[in-house]
Amino acid sequence: MSKITSEEIKHIAKLANLKIGDKEVNKFQKQLSSVLDYVSELEKVDTAKIEPTNQTTGLQNVFRVDKVRKECSLNVKDALSGTEETYNDYFKISAIFDEK
Amino acid sequence: MEIPLTIKKLHQDLIDKKYSLVELIDRYLERIEKFDKKINSFITVSSGYAYKKAKELEESMNQLEDKSFKKYPLLGTVVAHKDLFCTKGLRTTAASKVLTDYVPNYSATVVNKLEEAGSIIIGKTNCDAWAHGASGENSDFGLTKNPWNKDYVPGGSSSGSAVSVAANFSMFATGTDTGGSIRQPANFTGVVGFKPTYGAVSRYGVIAMASSLDSIGHFTRTVEDARKIFGVTKGEDLKDGTVKNTEYPKTEARLRIGIPKEYFIEGLDKDVENEVRRCSRIFEKEGIELEEISLPHTKYAISVYYIIQPAEVSSNLARYDGIRYGEKREMFDDEAKRRIMLGTYVLSAGYYDAYYLKAMKVRSKVIEDFEKAFKKVNAILAPVSPTPAFKIGEKVNNPLKMYLADIFTVAANIAGIPGLTIPSGFNSKNLPLGFQLLGPRFSENILFDLGELFEKVTNYKPSIAKLS
């Protein structure tokens, strides 16, 4: 597996909505490359006939009754209590699209 | 009055009316005020919250009298919550600037269960930001020091919780263990650390790190107390679909403990190795058979972990957008940025199969190793970390070196099995030593029984770090 390039660092930072400076690009490129180098040892493990594991509980399709439970919901006031700007009981955010 | 070190002693004192709960809170707060400035184990001390709860419980005790302990199995136990646990009305930061001013509107299930059982919240403990770290140095609120020797780290990520118990700032403390974040700091600070089976304790309301690995556990001074608290925290809450009420098998009369040869590798500190061997012989003397076992994929566990974990981290931390609550994403520390980017990378098209899918397959192999081993033995005894607590600053500039401190703990998270760290002594630098027990899923009773046996035959007495 090849090392991660500075272009790739910039690209994934953008995907993850992180702003990183040029100096940081170099630092992260070096650090992430060494981690990727290390984890590439997994290539040595033969997993040809192995099923992947994504969780360990063995539980599947855990259902509950489709009923609103008060203790699991927040009222509007509580839901908005962590934000600075609201508008008519909504969160106020910056525009996402800049063209009409 | 002296602060009691175990729940049993506390309850005897309360029956004997040696002090009131308000006086008990006074004593804890005095200690925190006097000693915590130098070791920094708390982010928030909640004295108002604690006195209010103490007074409520006292009123209830006056009415219920001797029935109090039945209603409140953890009556009067002072708890410090890792600052990843949402506490209604009490600031919860994840030790990150992103959540500096975040005050949750609800409490984690575990927080509620513990309060209903009579515990009293004294504060929120420091940790590596977002639980990313193995030393307690990666907090936006300053590093935490090891109370036994202040030049050394307390371990992480649940650094402040471990220290709060070791320094007697609380009766017990909660923590999260995603790759060793309870067991390793417990080992570094000489307290009991318990990581339950994945799916035994609800994760609801605990700030998520890696959702298929996160386990909600606690720090205590004795195994008996760890068991008591687990009795309260375990079980379904309908808010975490991975948790099911289940049977916990009883311990068999004849037990076998496996010693995994892959855990005694080059680079393992001599004191750590000798102590683990010495402790295993103590079990042998009690009629428990020791057997060397092999967990051949142990050496790949760290690599599996550092693919799956950042992948899940990148997804969980995506919700911090600075819109509904919290600060902007610029406020993430470097380690969070590294993990978000690493996770984004291994999940991205073109790399998914090579990294993420491969890691999930090797995860199956690690699990298979344990399944094979548990056909032969009831539990596994192993070192917790390759070294005792390391020096402050020793690994901060080398992320990969820091990641390797988790080498003996991550496999339990990958397999979803329970683990119990038990303190057993000290090295020449006054740094704690100990070992961990691992068992099959839902084998908590066996781990607790073995731990209690160890404490009994070694005449174990909890000790508190001397502070100045």
Full DSSP string of B83-150? TTB-BTTB---TTSGGGTT---SS--HHHHHHHHTT-EEEEEE--SGGG--SSS---TT-----TT-T
Element holding B173 (H helix, E strand): strand B172-177
Cβ of B358 within 8 Å of Cβ of A42? The answer is yes
Looking only at the bridges linking them, the beta strands covering B78-82 and B172-177 are parallel
Give the mutation candidate from A5, A10, A11, A35 for the B interface (greatest B CB count, under 10 A): A35
Cβ of A53 within 8 Å of Cβ of B198? The answer is no
Element holding B192 (H helix, E strand): strand B192-195
Closest C-alpha among B115, B149, B142 to residue B46: B115
Cβ of A31 within 8 Å of Cβ of B399? The answer is yes
Q: What does the pLDDT look like over B75-131, one tens digit per residue? A: 999 999 999 999 999 999 999 999 999 999 999 999 999 999 999 999 999 999 999
Cβ of B242 within 8 Å of Cβ of A13? The answer is no
Q: A84 falls in which pLDDT band (50, 70, 90)?
A: confident
- Helix then strand then coil, in percent of chain A rounded to 5, is 40, 5, 55
Q: B404 falls in which pLDDT band (50, 70, 90)?
A: confident
What does each C-alpha distance from B311 to A27, A42, B214, B307 come to in angstroms?
20, 16, 13, 6
**Which tokens sit at B218?**
């606690």
Q: Give the separation between CA B188 and CA B186, rounded to whole angstroms.
A: 6
pLDDT of the residue at A3: 81
pTM beyond 0.90: the answer is: yes
pLDDT of the residue at B448: 98
Report whether pLDDT(B151) > 50. Answer: yes
Residue B260: how many CA atoms within 13 Å on its side-chain side? Answer: 29
Element holding B176 (H helix, E strand): strand B172-177
| Nearest residue of B to residue A10, measured between CA atoms | B341
CB–CB contacts below 8 A, A to B: 142
| Nearest residue of A to residue B324, measured between CA atoms | A83
Q: Mean pLDDT throughout B62-70?
A: 93
Q: What does the pLDDT look like over B222-248, one tens digit per residue? A: 999 999 999 999 999 989 999 989 999
Mean pLDDT lowest among B196-210, B258-272, B391-405: B391-405
Residue with tokens 């991975």: B242
Nearest neighbour of B360 by CB, restricted to A13, A52, A59: A52
CB B39 within 8 A of CB B144: yes
CA of B52 vs chain A CAs: smallest distance (Å):
23
Q: Give the separation between CA B50 and CA B55, rounded to whole angstroms.
A: 9
Per CB-CB distance under 8 Å, the chain B contacts of A8 are 345
Nearest neighbour of B303 by CB, restricted to A9, A41, A53: A41
Extract the runs of DSSP E, i.e. beta strands, from chain A. 86-87, 90-91
**Interchain contact A8–B (C-beta under 8 A):** yes
On the 0-12 / 13-18 / 19+ scale of CB atoms within 10 A, A66 is exposed
B202: left (phi over 0), alpha (psi -120 to 50) or beta: beta
Q: Give the separation between CA B24 and CA B87, rounded to whole angstroms.
A: 22
**Interchain contact A68–B (C-beta under 8 A):** no
Q: What are phi and psi of B458, to 5 degrees?
A: -95, 5
Report whether pLDDT(A47) > 60. Answer: yes
A58: left (phi over 0), alpha (psi -120 to 50) or beta: left
**Interchain contact A88–B (C-beta under 8 A):** no
CB B195 within 8 A of CB B185: no
Q: Give the separation between CA B208 and CA B132, rounded to whole angstroms.
A: 11
Report the share of chain B in percent with pLDDT over 90: 94
pLDDT of the residue at A100: 66
